[in-house]
Amino acid sequence: MRIAVYPGSFDPMTNGHLDIIKRAAKTFDKVYVAILTNSAKKPCFSLEQRIDWLTRATADLGNVEIDSFSGLLVNYANQIGASIIIKGLRAVSDFEYEFQMALTNRALSPNIETMFLMTNGKYSYLSSSIVKEIAKLGGSLSGLVPDFMIEEVKNEIKKNQ
């Protein structure tokens, strides 16, 4: 069984993330979407909220599980039996950091392979930071996050302002 882990902050999940999750779900037997809980970046949305959005967005994908982890990604991957780390690449600017992380993870755990999925072109500019910025400034989130999330993201941002 090919088990993959797709790690990230998902603060919040975007349609770019969802596109990668759907494609990974077609390629691997099981995909764990894993939210890092001890990030140096302070998240804008609670862990429960981020889990809820990911769970609802992936409800129709039977082989996707939402989880959270702390500490080293490779330790978590080994714990759940994942042999593949999935990363999405948007642009050359993502490459250097991802390259460094992939090599670090290989040095830490050579049995785990990092695989990159190129983003869908229409999401190449999209990031969680962009979504937060647009929501703060009152712009439209249509097409950037799933429709069911739009009002909830705006309301959460308002609460936190």
Q: Which of residues 7, 12, 16, 88 is near ligand PNS by CB under 6 A?
A: 7
Q: Which is nearer to ligand PNS, 8 or 20 (CB)?
A: 8
CA nearest to 81, candidates 50, 51, 112, 54? 112
- Contact with ligand PNS (CB under 6 A) among 80, 101, 134, 150: 101
Concatenating the DSSP letter of every residue in 107-147 gives HH-TT-EEEEEEPPGGGTT--HHHHHHHHHTT---BTTB-G
Verify binding: residue 8, ligand PNS, rule CB under 6 A.
yes
- Rank residues 72 and 91 by Cβ distance to ligand PNS and give the closer one: 72
Answer yes or no whether residue 5 interacts with ligand PNS by CB under 6 A: no
Nearest to 51 by CA among 9, 88, 4: 9
**Smallest separation, CB 159 to ligand PNS (Å):** 22
CB nearer ligand PNS, residue 52 or residue 98: 98
